[in-house]
Structures are given as C-alpha cells and as structure tokens.
Structure 1
Amino acid sequence: MSQSASRDLFASRLGFILSASGAAVGLGNIWGFPTQVASNGGGAFLLVYLLLIVFVAFPMLVVEMAIGRQGQANPVDSVRALSDSAFVKRVGSGVGWLGLSVPSVVLAFYSIVGGWIVCFFLASLSKLAGGFFGDGTWLETFSVGRNLLGTLIFYVLTILIVQGGVKQGIEKWSTRLMPALFILFAVLFIYILMQDGAIDGLKQYLIPDFSKVWDKDLILAAMGQGFFSLTIGGCSMLIYGSYLSKKENLPKMAMSVTLVDTGVAFIAGLVVMPAMFVAMKNGVEIYASDGHLLNADTLVFRVLPMMFDSLGIWGQIFSAVFFLLLTIAALTSSISMLECPVSLVSERLQVGRSLTTWILGGFIAVGSIVILLNFSALFGLVVKVATQYLQPLAALMFCLFGGWVWSRRSKIEELEQGFPEYAQHWFGKLWPVYVKFVCPLLVITVLWGALSS
C-alpha cells in the first residue's frame, strides 16, 4: 500500500539527518549513556559501545529505514508491503502493531522524565530571576503536583511540534533544536573542563581498562544502550525512513544518523563524566565504598544540581543551560514517538493531522497520569517492559522480516534507488547476509540478557 502520492517528505537531506538524529538523540544519550559509562568501567564501556554501534546497531538501522522507505507508509502498512502472501501480510500487521506499541509505551514514561527536566529548567530560571517561582525548590522536589505540571507542559510542547507535519513541524524544529544542542554542549564542556577535578573524569572516560572489555554484563549493557540510543525497534526510524526521498543513498543517510547520534552520546560523556569528578571534589558523594555508582537512575537530577549549586552564580547559569539542553534532547525524541501512531491514524482514517495529534497525545498522556498516580508500582515496571522486552522483540521481528521475508530482489531494487552501485558494492554483498543471520542472533542475546537479569 503506497502513500507516496500524498505523503509529506523531508524537504532536504540535512533536514532528514537532523530530524532522524534528533529522534535517536534523547535522554538515552545524555542521561542513560553517561550513567552506563560511570557504572560499567568508564573507557572500557565506551570502547565496547562504539564497536557494537558499528557492527550491530547501524546494520539494523538500515533495515528499519529501508522497510519504511519501501512501504512509504505507517509501520503497519510498511511491514505488510514486504510480502504478497495474505498470511504473511497478516503476520506483518501484527509485527507493525508490536512495533507501534513501543513508541507509545515509551512515550508514556519518557514524558514523565521529560516533565522532571522541564521543572528543573524552570527552577534554574527561577533562581536566576530572583524567584518568580518562589525559591524553585518545589520544582526540584518529587511530588504528584510537580510531576503532573511538568508532564503536561512536555506533552503540549510535543503535540504542538508534531501537529505541524513533517516539513513545518518535525523538520523545521529539528533543524533549529539540534544545532542548539551542539552549541550548548560545547559551551558546557569548556566550562566544566576548567573546574578542579574535571581532568580525572576525562581520563576515566577516555582511557579504557582492557581487563573489563570482555565482561558479559558490560557487553550486554553496551548492546542494550546502543539499541535504546538509536531507537532500534522503536519504529521512529521506520517512520522517518518512510518520509525519505527515493533519490537518497539510504545506507549513507543511516550512517550520518548513526554518527550524529553516537557523537552526541560521546560528547555527553565528555560533559557528565568530568562533571561527576568536579562534584566529588566539591564534596558530593558519587561512588560507594565498594565502587558502585550511587543514585545511578537519578544521577542527572541529584548529583549534577548539587554540583551546580556549589559553583555559585555561574553554576546556576550552567544549570539552566544544561536542563535546557536536556529538554531539547527529550523533545527531539518525543516528537518522533508521537509521530508513529499519528501517521497510522491520519493515513488510515484520513483524519486531519492536528486533531489526530491532540487526541492521540491526550490518550497517551492519560496513561502517563495513571503511571504518575501509581508511581512506585508502575513507573519501573513500564520502563522495564518497554525497553528490555518490547523494544528488543520488535527489533528482532523487524530484522527477521527485513532479512527473511523481504525478497532479495526487492531489497536490491529499493537500496539501488539513490545507491546505483549497491549490488556491486561490498555493503550490498555483506549487509543482506549479515542482517539475515548475525543481527537476529545478537538481538536474541540482548533479549536473553534481559530475561535472565
């Protein structure tokens, strides 16, 4: 089922790269990645992560983007389009719906975290402006009221961008937000590096302990982080691929997205790891006596604000910069998550995009509110189900459909559009075999690691 005749496409190559990179760049890069580095051997984790991004995540990113561009439709219809068999089409629908559940469930908890970040940003502004939100403490303190306020603000921002469509919404804002992200990171990195203790953090981050490289838990953590960071199995790359022109070299575009996403994660480590050691120099406790990371899940929300507070007025300025940066990163991901169900409903039911966006955004927001009102019982459970089970399972099914169901001839025809030498190129000879045999085994390993943990 092709939607190409009426389907909105990205207006430029740069617009696609920044939008797709924005979908991948999020809290997984700026919150999750530095925390994983700090918890798993510093430089050793970084080295393994970079290798797994190249040999596992990138080939699977090409699969998802290719399925989307081939189908030129929402995830359900794109997966259905890979086969002419009525039975396989029905199975493909199930796979598409499974994939579609991932961004919807992830958005339900992601928006809560996004709301926390918005509140910390408002608290930083309040301190700088002399307290237009009081002393800002209530915005940094966990409470149902604070959480609801932040989550609703975050949903409204996400919905306002997505309702604009691909060119006027997603692409327009991604081409503004992503450069701002890099500029803010550069400023923050220069500032942090001038603080006492920063160089020690930099050494821990960049110099690997090779004795830890083969640690099973480290490898599984790096693989899981790579999947979550590049949203493999999250449908965002499939849907953005469906908005990509047939004239573009798809593997090259996928590599550009991979490099930008990995670059942001790497730079986040350059900022957060030195910042942790600066915090330690200022009396903030980071590691326990046995060497494990304290407050791993809330590192960004507890440790870094304490560091910023210890640095006076400049600390308050850079606290605002840091949480603005996190808000931007979170938004560039949340808009891609909401776009997945919006594209399905607006295409299948021919409903206006604006109305569809508000209704679906509101529906998922209700799920977030339910989680907030039952936080201790539901939040951790939803995070675990979405990231450790649903997303790897969807990634495995996309990989199996892309590798086994989608015919070799059709794959070649799709990849040759924008890449005429594909069949003769080393990539064209290696990639189909790699995604058919190697990638599924690696995804099964991630699932096995999650189930046995």
Structure 2
Amino acid sequence: MDKKSPAFATRLGFILAAAGSAVGVGNIWGFPTQAASNGGGAFLLVYLIMIALLAYPMLVAEVTIGQLRRQNPIKALRNLSRRSYWRRFGALSGIVSLVVLSLILSFYAIVSGWLIAYMLAPLMQLLGQVQTADWLLTFSTARNLTTMLFFMLLTVYVVRSGVNDGIERWSRRLMPLLFVLLIGMALYILTLDGALQGLKMYLIPDFSAITEPTLIIRAMGQAFFSLSLGVCVMMTYGAYLSDKENIPKTAAWVAGIDTSVAFLAGLLILPAMFVAQNNGVAIYGADGSLLSADTLVFAVLPAMFDTLGSAGPFVAIGFFLLMVIAAITSSISMLEAPVNALREEANCERNVGVWIIAFVVTALSSIIIYNFESLFSLVITISTVYMQPIMALVFGLMLTWVLRQNHLLKALQKGSPNIQNSWFWKIWPWYVKFVCPVLIVLVIWQG
C-alpha cells in the first residue's frame, strides 16, 4: 500500500498548484459571465470586496486545518476536538464537503468537455474535417458524454502520478502558459473595434446596482467557487504544505493570483462581447438581459471568432486552449481531495482510489447529461452558490470555536514565529469566529 504522506516539494509548487485549483473555468467562464449579467463594474467591485472580507479569511482557515493535522479532510476535521460529538460532526462535515466537491466536478467535467470540443472544432475545420467539426459544435448527448469522458481521463492521468510527479509538475507547467495565453488574448481583443465599450462597462461600476441582493450573493458564491473553498480542496493541499511556510502570506499569494486571473478574464471576455456586437452578433435582449448567459463563451464568442476572417480559427483555438488549461488545473485538485480521503480512510492505493472516484464522478456527470434540463443548473446553484459558503463557514467555525486558540497559535507560529505580535493574529481569529458567520448568513438570507 502507498502509505507515505504526499507533500509539495517547494513553496512555489504549492502556490501554483493551489492557485491552479482556484484558477479555473470559474474564473474564465463563470466570473465574466456573472459580471456581464450583473452590472459589469458593479459586480467586479463587490467580488473584490467578497474576496477580501470573506474568501481570503476562510482560505487561511482551510489551509491551516490541513497543515495542522496533515490528514485527509474527514480525519483532520474529526481530530480538531477530543469530544465525541465534535468528532462526529467534524467527520460528517468532511464527508458532506467531499460529496459537494464530487457534484461540482461532475458538472465541471461536462463544461470542460465542451471546451475541448470547441477547441478541436476549428482545428478540424482547418484540416477539412467539416462533419467532425459540426459534430463537436452540436449539442448532443453523445457529444457531451464523449468529451466529458475524455476530460476525466486527462484528469485521471495527472492525479495518478501523485502530488510531485503529477499535480505539482503539471501546475508548474500549465500556470505560466495560462497567464501568457490570457494576457496575449486580452491584448489582441482590446485592439478590435467595439472593445472600448466593453472595457468601460467592466471598469466603471454602476453604484446603484451594488446593493442588489442577487448581485451580492452571486459575487460571494463566485468568490468561494473561484477559490475552491468549502469543498476540502485547500484543506487537502494544506496537508501537503511544509510546516515552515507562512500560511497567511502563502494564502495571500494564492488569492492574489486567482483574483488576477479573474480580472484578466474580464478584460478579455467583456470587451470580446462588444467586439461581437460591433460585428453584428446580438449579445443583449430587448429587455437588456444578457443572451446565452449560461453559455456565453460557447455562443457569443464563437460567433465573434467567425467574424475575424482567416485569423478566427486560430484565435478560437488559442482561447479554448486557455480554457482547457484552466479547467485541468482545477479538476486535478477536485479529484485529488476525495482520492486522498479514500486512500487514508480505506487504506486504498492511489491508483485504485483514482479510478474509483473517477468512476463515481463520471456516473454523476452521465446522470446530469441524460437529465440536462432539470439537473445542470440545479446542481451548479446548490453546490456553488449555497453549499460552498455554508461548508466554508463550518470549517472556519470549527477552527476558531472547537480548536483551542493556543493550539491554533502554535500551528501558525511554525511558519511565522512572531505572528502573535502581528495585526493578522489580533484580527483574523475573532473575525473568522464572529464576523464571517454573520456576513455569510446575511448574504445568503438576503439572496
């Protein structure tokens, strides 16, 4: 059996892997779509506030739990207390979060399969395979199943190799490439006619929309989804982090990279929408609502690429390659968390655990595909908008209410010996203990 505890070899490896988990389809598909549907700059402003006030403090909490116990999330949460009822509650919380994570990966694999299809379609057209390209672009059960399965196999390939040879190695390769593609694509789009209108919408907030309850709860849900909070991913990666690392600073790097990618994605997608509109593609309805809101990058952007002439297929391939890279860096972390739990709880070999979890997620994805109209949006809303913030809140409360404060301080002092004298220590514990619960409950209740 594989009993050796996995670990990241370097701090950079952890940062890129954790940022890769955070940076995904949620940033490049979800965030710009939410921004376009909820006032552009107003959503951006509220999103940044949610990252600072709620997501970052909860990110520190999850990574701390992982590093403190160096166990899978079920065992780590169970071992925060010696009291039997808290131990049972902790184990149950870990199980629930891993179930939510599996649901997220199940719809994530479907969306990522679409990305692969839209990346390959223009390539097939360039090669003269028009029928294959049409099949890839046509929404169908067969297409969705095939591309979902292909994406899951890519994810399995990385996770089977382990933390160092799989997750860390591929994160170090893919994350820099993602940044290069994202910046290059954004700079290109900004040179096209109509892009300036989208840039203004994105960067100039409508302050009258900022207090909308729907906007606020969606911004919070997007922040938690983007940073992979409440689903044991960051807790799992925290267990692989060296004791010498300063958790608040390392978490700040992760949150900063993730937020930067979301911001850059907005600089790409929103101007691209108005470039498409300038080229005759309808992006808003008569009532001002965004058309194809849930499938923005699959409806509006391909239509825009078609108006770019001979450059269109190459721009389309580059854009969807960017999306696929972002998807893989997130999916490997989503598969790793339940695999690690199965490995420790059931004394299961990594290779076997990977295939078991992949089979379960693939089965869930298949059920969603066969019941797409009734399940797809429902699973997304329940898992990301509500369950992620709720479970992140549970983790934060367990760390600050259940674990003794002196144990928490000792855990943080391993990477920062003088942290007890810092403003972070003076503010963060009581902030997570008292303020975050109130804010999260208020936002959910308002929504």
Normalising by structure 1, what TM-score? 0.96
The answer as to 2:33 corresponding to 1:35 is yes
Q: Match of 1:188?
A: 185
Aligned partners of 2:445 and 2:209: how far apart in 1?
A: 21
1:13 to 4, 11, 14: 11
Q: CA deviation at 1:39?
A: 1.2
Q: Match of 2:104?
A: 106
Q: Secondary structure at the match of 2:342?
A: helix
Deviation string, structure 1 residues 151-206 (Cα, Å, up to 9, x no partner): 00000000010111110111011111111110111111121111111111111111
Aligned partners of 1:211 and 1:347: how far apart in 2?
A: 51
The answer as to 2:394 corresponding to 1:392 is no
Q: Match of 2:405?
A: 408
Aligned length: 445
Deviation string, structure 1 residues 117-175 (Cα, Å, up to 9, x no partner): 111111121123332x6351110110011001100000000001011111011101111
Identify which range, 135-144 or 382-391, moves more after superposition: 382-391
Q: Match of 2:355?
A: 358
Identify which range, 360-369 or 12-21, moves more after superposition: 360-369
Q: CA deviation at 1:382?
A: 1.8
Aligned partners of 2:289 and 2:367: how far apart in 1?
A: 33
Aligned partners of 1:210 and 1:374: how far apart in 2?
A: 39
Q: Match of 2:338?
A: 341
1:25 to 23, 26, 29: 23
Aligned partners of 2:79 and 2:411: how far apart in 1?
A: 13
2:171 to 165, 171, 174: 174
Q: Trace 1:281-296 onto structure 2 (pairs within 5 A).
A: 281-296=278-293
Aligned partners of 1:297 and 1:213: how far apart in 2?
A: 21
Q: CA deviation at 1:35?
A: 0.8
Q: Trace 1:36-435 onto structure 2 (pairs within 5 A).
A: 36-131=34-129, 134=131, 136-435=133-432
Aligned partners of 1:359 and 1:216: how far apart in 2?
A: 40
Aligned partners of 1:29 and 1:388: how far apart in 2?
A: 15
Aligned partners of 2:34 and 2:385: how far apart in 1?
A: 15
Amino acid at match of 2:106: A
CA contact (8 A) 1:102 1:235 kept: no
Deviation string, structure 1 residues 23-57 (Cα, Å, up to 9, x no partner): 11111100111111111111121112112211111
Aligned partners of 1:270 and 1:382: how far apart in 2?
A: 28
Q: CA deviation at 1:448?
A: 2.3
Q: CA deviation at 1:380?
A: 2.1
Deviation string, structure 1 residues 313-367 (Cα, Å, up to 9, x no partner): 2111010011111111111111111111100111222222112101211121111
CA contact (8 A) 2:222 2:385 kept: no
Aligned residues: CA RMSD: 1.3
CA contact (8 A) 1:193 1:274 kept: yes
Amino acid at match of 1:442: L
Q: CA deviation at 1:449?
A: 4.3
Q: Secondary structure at the match of 1:419?
A: coil
Seen in structure 2, the aligned counterparts of structure 1 residues 135 and 346 have a Cα distance that, compared at 3 Å, is: closer
Aligned partners of 1:222 and 1:326: how far apart in 2?
A: 21
Q: CA deviation at 1:216?
A: 2.7
Q: CA deviation at 1:101?
A: 1.2
CA contact (8 A) 1:392 1:446 kept: no
Aligned partners of 2:38 and 2:381: how far apart in 1?
A: 19
Amino acid at match of 1:53: I
Q: Secondary structure at the match of 2:420?
A: coil
Aligned partners of 1:129 and 1:50: how far apart in 2?
A: 43
Q: Secondary structure at the match of 1:10?
A: coil
Aligned partners of 1:218 and 1:386: how far apart in 2?
A: 18
CA contact (8 A) 2:58 2:393 kept: no
Amino acid at match of 1:68: G
CA contact (8 A) 1:224 1:446 kept: no
Q: CA deviation at 1:294?
A: 1.1
Give 5+ residue unaligned stretches, structure 2: none
Identify which range, 375-384 or 24-33, moves more after superposition: 375-384
CA contact (8 A) 2:305 2:315 kept: yes
Aligned partners of 1:359 and 1:411: how far apart in 2?
A: 35
Q: Secondary structure at the match of 2:131?
A: strand
Q: Percent of aligned positions with the same letter in both sequences? A: 52
Aligned partners of 1:282 and 1:124: how far apart in 2?
A: 20
Amino acid at match of 1:188: M
Aligned partners of 1:352 and 1:85: how far apart in 2?
A: 31
CA contact (8 A) 1:45 1:218 kept: yes
